[in-house]
Each structure stands twice: as structure tokens, then as C-alpha cells.
Structure 1
Amino acid sequence: MKINKYNSLVFALLSGFFLSAQTQPKQWTLEECVRYALDNNITIKLSELDVKNAAIDKKGALGNFLPSVNANASHSWNVGLNQNITTGLLQNSTTQYSSVGASVGVDVYKGLQNQNILRRTKLAIIASQYQLTKMQEDISLNVANAFLEILFNKENLKVKKEQLAIDQKRLARSEEMVNAGTIPRGDLYDLKATEATDQQAIIVAENSVLISKLSLAQLLQLKEFADFDVIDDTDVKDENNILAQTPIEIYNKAKETRTELKLAQTNLEIAERNVIIAKGAFQPTLSAFYNFNTRASYSDIITGSALNSDNPTRQIGYVQGTNQAVLEPNYSPVLGGAAPIFDQFNDNKGQSFGLQLSVPIFNGFSVRNNVEKSKVSLERSKIDLEQKSLDLQRNVYTAFTDAKGALNAYESSTVTLEARQQAYNYAKEKYDVGLMNSFDFTQAQTLLTNAQSEVIRTKYDYIFKIKILEFYFGIPIIPIITK
């Protein structure tokens, strides 16, 4: 009996543990959110398909160096008046013919276009991989921003709830003071209005938390996000000491690591290769070919000859002067069945091979226009690379200035909060002894609440600005693993 009771107790404890584990929502870390987004985001999946397409294009470019081999076969029926290919006679009959063949062709010289197309496809693979990496980096920043937005809203909600708790205590104490005749009843009404305002602020803050969670869950492509939550990691610190770097140092590092510059440089190289490919169409092309054909007929064939019994002789001329007819034996062909089909294929086979040279002379300016278009695209790529470099320099200096400003704003808001807290404590002491009315005390409390909210806002703004600056310095949110 004791053992059964012990087992029942253990079972109950384990059941309670697993039930609480199931009902408690998972709290995601920033790294988990970013990793999940990189694995499941639809835009990233589409970019991964572009990488696969680029790899397939490379296989096609390699195939241009290989010979083309084709086989053909046909079987036909001729019904009605046809010429017998064996006897040469016209006759009404149904005949069948079969033919088979094979052809091989290979480019010997094509203006080096195949070689340049292969080099372009290799560059296209690199460009698609850079595009995928850039997409992953952008998604990582968006996830980090959404993650910090949740933390900001949760801390803001916490401040609102703490403020409500303080006001509720004040309201209860004020009711006692009103009953004791220490303060007028009008102060009590002000406190009730303040409590109602606090309740409304909490509702707004709760909605902000829910909306920010929903935004991050949708960014992660989560199907079930009712219990989605994140870990409250609110440390403010510059772990990599990024602000110790100068803007020019960060910019020089960004030029080496930023994906948008690498992508623009690769697109420039692709444009240069397209110009070379287009110019290659001005050159002659030389190709080699080999063809093999054979055929078979199912018609009767001549197997021999025999003297025509109905007309054993035929006149072939006459003797001049006497006009005596000159005769010869009249033989008629003897027809037999068609030869075996494989024997016919062997007897009727034929081959052809050679070289074919094509020299472009005039093609309606199509080749020249393609070259001009490719040159325009090349100039566009050069301008795009220059613009990307200028944008990167501006973004780095802006990010550095923003991070410095965010740090100063956070430090100033912290100092302001300390001053507002001291002012609130002093106002509370005066209010408790009846030396300050409720309106003035509420103003001091409102200023304190605003200072607390400003500290929260500047803190997370500073965290995100530091993340952006680290991003330009080549420090990712999490290490991105290339598949």
C-alpha cells in the first residue's frame, strides 16, 4: 500500500511538471529568432532558388563545349500510284519505307563566345550568392529591430503597471486622509482620474506588446504565434567596443566586407563579360558535322529474269536495205520478296561529314546593336558601383553619428531620470505631510513617468544603432552559414 501511494505521488508530480512545461510558452532568444527567420523566410527561399538557377545555367554553359548528338527514325506508307524504287515502274500499290539516321555536330570556333559565357555563368553564381547573403543580412537586421521593439514595449508596459500600483496605493491612502479630514475630497477625485488614465495607458501598452509580437512572428513565418514570446534580455553594452573605432576605419572595413559592394562589383564584371560575348558575334564561326543515314523498303525486288512466254522475242532494229527485223530474246524481271530489313540497312547505309564556315556580313545591325546595348549596361553597372560606394560611405558616417547621438541621449535620459526621481521623492514627502496639493504631485509623477519612458526608448534606440554600426564593421547579428 505504501509503494502504491509513493508511485501515485511521483506520477502526480511528473504529470504536473509536464503539464506546466506544455502550457508555458517558449521564450525565444534573438539568435533563435534570426536563425529561424533565415531558415524559413519566403524571400530567402526564393533567393536560394536563384542560386540553384545560376548553377543550372553553368551546366548549360559547360554543355556548349560538348558535341550535339541526335538520332532520327521514320516509317512511311505510300498508297496509290507510286514509282517502285526497285523497278522504276509506276504502279498502284501500297509501299512502306523505313529510314534511320544519326548526326553529330560540334562548334570548333565561335568567337570564344562559349568560353566567355561559361565565365559569365560563374560570375552569375557568385552574384546570386551575394544577393542571398544580402537578403539574409537584411532579414537579420529586421528581426533584431522587431525583437528590440518587443523588449521596449514590454519594459514600457512594466513601467505603466508599476505606476498604476503606486497610484492605487496613493488612492487608498488618500481615501484614509480624506476620511480623517487631512486633505480635501477634490484631491481624491484627481487621484481616481489619474488611476483611470493609468488603466488606459496599460491597455495601450499591452496592445503595443501584442502588435510587436505579431509583427516578429509574421516576419519569422510562424504559423502558431498565439503564445509567442521572447526572452527579456535588456543589457545595454557595447561588447565589441565599436564606438572606439573612427568612421573612416569602419568605412574601410565596410568596403572589404559589405555584400552590396561585392554584388555591385560582380555585376560590373558580368557586364564586362557581356560586352565581350556580344563582340564575339562579329567573328566567323566554324562547326564540324557528321551524318549517317540508311533506309529499307518493304516492296518486292528483282531476283532474276526469265524468257517471256507470251512474247519471247522483241525487235531491237532492222537490216538496212532489206528491212529485215533484228530480234533478241525478251526477258522479263522476276520479282521476289524484299530482302531482310537489317541486310537492307547494311547495304543502303551512307555517311557524310565536313566543316561549315559562317561569316557574318550584314544582319540588320543586330550584332552591332547588341554590342551597343551591352556597353550601355556596362556604364550603368559602373555608375551603380560608384553610387553603392558613396551610399555606403554616407550610411557608415550616418550610423556612427546616430550611435554616438543615441549613446549621449541614453546617458542624458539616465541623468534626467535620476533628477526626476529625486524631485518625485521630494514632492511625495511634501504631499504626505499636506504641503503639496494632488495636482502638483501628479505633475511631478507624470514627469517621472515620462523620464522613465524616455530612458527605455533611448536605451533600445542605442542598442539598435550599435547593431547597425557593428553590421557595417562586418560583425553580423549571428554568423550566417552559407549552404
Structure 2
Amino acid sequence: MKKHTLLLIALMAVVTAFGQNKKWTLQECVEYALENNISIKQSELAIEEADIGKSDAIGNYLPSLNGSIGNNWNTGLTQDVVTGVLVNQTSRNSSYSATVGLSIFRGLRNLRSLQRAEIAQLGAQYGLKKMTDDISLFVANAYLQVLLNKANLEASKQQNAVTMEQIERTQELVDAGVLPEGDLLNIKATDASEKQNIVVGENAVRISLINLAQLLLIEDYEAFDIQDEGYDIIDEGIAAKDISEIIAAAQENRAEVKIAQTNYDLAEKDLQLARGAYYPTINGFFNYNTRESDRARIGSFIDPDNPTITTQIGVVETTGDAVIAEVPNSSLVELSPLPYWEQLWSNDGISYGLQLNVPIFNGLSARNNVKRSKVNVKRQEYLLEQAKLDLESNIYQAYVDARGSMKAFEAASTALESQQLAFEYAQQRYDVGLTNSFDFSQAKLLYDNALVEANRSKYDYIFRLKVLELYFGIPATELKF
């Protein structure tokens, strides 16, 4: 038992250590964000709402069925629900009805509503795609910022390691009387400044990691880390294509223009729906109803001992003689109510028919709704044109940024090579005492700055390429880094 417990503890420790040592790739971060980001979930809810809206539009074609049940107590002068006579009474009665209604014609508004719901579905899907692209760029930008901070931190540590070696070398030269004490103090001051930069760099890495973790909704900030290798291969990619090809692909694939187009289509459908109020409507209905009461019935009773009587029933108009006849000897009596189910069967009835409503005058509301819808159509038309112009402008800007960042990266790489050679030369001269510590520190500072700029331009170039790839239509989950 003890062995099993120890084995379980060891296994849990391995699993925990594995989870803490996991380093997220950019692709994993993008995929995780697309699955868990709140804005993505809200866009998915918008699709669900659009689906419900389409279900509502389909429901307009279906008949309605409504039932009602009532049970009432009346005191005073009320109508007997069975005889229809007004009597002063205290009674209880119940009624039941079921009505089927069908909209036969509504000025084509049922059809327009269904078409509008289908367009709204497309708009929600385009909205989700745009949100997916935006979140992917946010994650990529945050991820590359962590990479940049890590690269700068690593460069600071490497350069400080060189400084530490120079402190040892300078100490030897000072002890030998080759260099003055001031050179050693200058190098130590550089070391202190670099260590401060390392602390600042570590804080920058931690803050950028926390920002990325928050974007991914990951709460374990301490264990969260990213993969910082495999991002050194850079080529022109999409930036090598002609700008017209990129614009054509973007107009076909990007969601911005499609969203504006669906908004315009929705506005046109709203205009058609508003015009539907000019037309008459036809509705059909069928109703079944029944009732029962606890009131006693009034019936006639024939005397069995004297079933008939002779009585005058009229007068001969010409002679004035009385007309005598033998009639049943009956009298009115109060009877108990019929059984519940028998009453329902005996007192039921049906009604059915058609109803035509013709709009004649409605305070100009229908006409004003049409005018308002026309204004919205024009507004959405302008927004569609603006979306096309904005997309083309953004693509040009992204293309220029990508090409410019490529040239900046190439220039920074060339500058870094030159500054590295200059630093190595200054280091060699310093080691043999041919230059002072100030000139050596200046050469090292220029090399450090060139290394930071090379890192910045590198990751800026990667990000600009990803923006261009999304405009070209590459899905967010298929971006290559």
C-alpha cells in the first residue's frame, strides 16, 4: 500500500512538473484564444441569436393554436350560460375554447422576414470571422512582444557576461600597472548599469507574459511561459506578391466588406418589410368552444293522473267564438344540472372565417417607416463604399509596412554585423591596452543598441507579415511562424 502511495505521489509530481514546464507555441496560443476568448464566445452567441431569428421567421408560416379555460363565479343579475336568460343568481360556470389561426397574406412580410434572417445569419458568421482574425493578431502581437523582450534580456545577459570578463581582464591590467584605476571603475559602472538593464528586462518579460496570459484567460501566471525558439526563419512570404493580387484576395475573403455588404442587404430587406405595411392582410381562424354550469335546469312535468286539460287557445276572428283544445297538463319544475361531460358535449359550438384588414390611414406611420428605411439603405450604401475604401487603404498600409519592416530588418542586421565587428576590434585593442575604457564602453554601447534594434525590427517584420497574410485570406489557425 505504501509503495502504491509513493508511486501515485511521484506520478502526480511528474504531471505537475510537466504542466509547469510546458512552453506554449504561438500556434497553440492562437488556437487556445480562439477556443476560450470572451469576445469569440460573444460572437458565437450572435450566431445562435441569428439562428433563433431564422426559426422565428419560419414560424411565421405556421398556424397558431391557442386554448383557453375559464371558471367563474357570479352573484347578482347575470346571464345563465345555458338558457341565456338574465336572472338574479349566484352561479359557477366554466368555459373552454381552442382557436387555430393562420396568416394567409401579410404583404410578403413573411417571405421578407425569412430572407432577412438568412442574411443576418451570414452577417453573424462574418462577424465571428473578423473577431477571429482580430484576436489572432492581438495574440500574435502579444506573443512577439514576449519574444522581443526575451531576446533583449538574453542579449543584455550575454553582454553583461562579456563585461564581467572585461572586469577580470581590466583588474589584471590595473594590477600590472598597464591601465589606470579609473578604467576599472568605468567598467564596473558599465556592469552596474547592465545589471540594472537586466532587472528591467526581466520585469518586461514577466509583464508581457502576464499580458499574454490574460489575453488567453490563463490564471496561472507563474507557470505560464512560451516557446522562444524556431522564429528565426524569415522570408518575404506574401510581401513578395503584387499588391493588386493581395487586394483582390482580401476583397474576396476579408470579413470587413462582407459585413458591410450584409448590413446593406439587411437595410434593403427592412425597406421591403416597411413597404409591406401598405398591403392588406388576410387571416383565417377556426374556433371550437363549449361550456358548463352548476345552475339547475328548468324542465316541464306532466301530471300522470291528469295528463291533459281542456283550455281556450284562441278566438275565431269572424264569429268571436272561443277555440277550445286539449293540451298537455304540464308545469315547470327545477331540475338538477346535467352531468359535467354531458354538458360539455351538449353546449359546444364552432366558429370559423376569414378576416381582411385594409390599411387606410395610420397617422403616416407606415409612410414614415418607409422613408426612414430608405435613409438607412442610403447610409449602409455609403458605409459599404467606405468599407471597400478602408480595406484597400489598410492593405496598402500593411503592404508598405511589411516591405518597410523587411528593409528595416535588413538594415538593422547589416548594422548589427558592422557594430559587432567594431566591438570585437575595440575589445581586442582594449585587451592589449591600445584603447581606454571609455572608447571600449562606447563601442559596446553601440553594439548593444544595434542588437536591440535588430531584435525589434525582426519581430516587427514577422508581425507585419502575419497582418498581410490575414488580409490575403490565410485562416488565422493556419498562419505559419
Identify whether the pair has TM-score above 0.5, normalized to the shorter chain.
Answer: yes
Matched, 1:112 2:111: no
Structure 1 residues without counterparts, runs of 5 or longer: 1-6
Q: Are the structure 2 counterparts of residues 186 and 102 from structure 1 closer, same or farther at C-alpha, using a change threshold of 3 Å?
A: same
Q: Which residue of 1 aligns with 2:259?
A: 263
Q: Which residue of 2 aligns with 1:334?
A: 333
Does the 8 Å contact 1:175/1:188 carry over to 2? Answer: yes
Q: Are the structure 2 counterparts of residues 39 and 352 from structure 1 closer, same or farther at C-alpha, using a change threshold of 3 Å?
A: same
Structure 2 residues without counterparts, runs of 5 or longer: none
Instruction: Report the Cα offset of residue 79 of structure 1.
Output: 2.5
Does the 8 Å contact 2:300/2:330 carry over to 1? Answer: no
Q: Are the structure 2 counterparts of residues 252 and 81 from structure 1 closer, same or farther at C-alpha, using a change threshold of 3 Å?
A: closer
Does the 8 Å contact 1:98/1:297 carry over to 2? Answer: yes
Matched, 1:195 2:195: no
Q: Secondary structure at the match of 1:27?
A: coil
Q: Which residue of 1 aligns with 2:434?
A: 435
In 2: Cα distance, 1:353 partner to 1:134 partner: 52
Instruction: Report the Cα offset of residue 157 of structure 1.
Output: 0.2
Q: Are the structure 2 counterparts of residues 90 and 438 from structure 1 closer, same or farther at C-alpha, using a change threshold of 3 Å?
A: closer
Matched, 1:69 2:68: no
Q: Which residue of 1 aligns with 2:342?
A: 343
Does the 8 Å contact 2:416/2:454 carry over to 1? Answer: yes
Does the 8 Å contact 1:316/1:328 carry over to 2? Answer: no
Q: TM-score, normalised by structure 2?
A: 0.90
Does the 8 Å contact 2:236/2:406 carry over to 1? Answer: no
Matched, 1:233 2:232: no
In 2: Cα distance, 1:227 partner to 1:247 partner: 43
Within 5 Å, give how 1:138-149 maps onto structure 2.
138-149=134-145
In 1: Cα distance, 2:85 partner to 2:399 partner: 96
Q: Secondary structure at the match of 1:332?
A: strand
**Which of residues 202, 207, 216 in structure 2 aligns to 1:206?**
202
Q: Which residue of 2 aligns with 1:52?
A: 48
CA deviations 1:399-458 (Å, max 9, x no partner) are: 111111111111111111111111112211221222211111100110011111111011
The amino acid that maps onto 1:456 is N
Matched, 1:101 2:97: yes
Matched, 1:35 2:48: no
Does the 8 Å contact 2:37/2:217 carry over to 1? Answer: yes
In 2: Cα distance, 1:278 partner to 1:372 partner: 9
Does the 8 Å contact 2:78/2:89 carry over to 1? Answer: yes
Q: Secondary structure at the match of 1:230?
A: coil
Within 5 Å, give how 1:80-159 maps onto structure 2.
80-82=76-78, 84=80, 93-159=89-155
Q: TM-score, normalised by structure 1?
A: 0.90
Instruction: Report the Cα offset of residue 191 of structure 1.
Output: 1.0
The amino acid that maps onto 1:150 is V
Q: Which residue of 2 aligns with 1:424?
A: 423
In 1: Cα distance, 2:475 partner to 2:64 partner: 48
Does the 8 Å contact 1:31/1:477 carry over to 2? Answer: no
In 1: Cα distance, 2:64 partner to 2:15 partner: 67
Q: Which residue of 2 aligns with 1:4?
A: none
Does the 8 Å contact 2:82/2:347 carry over to 1? Answer: no
Matched, 1:167 2:163: yes
In 2: Cα distance, 1:240 partner to 1:105 partner: 66
Matched, 1:275 2:274: no
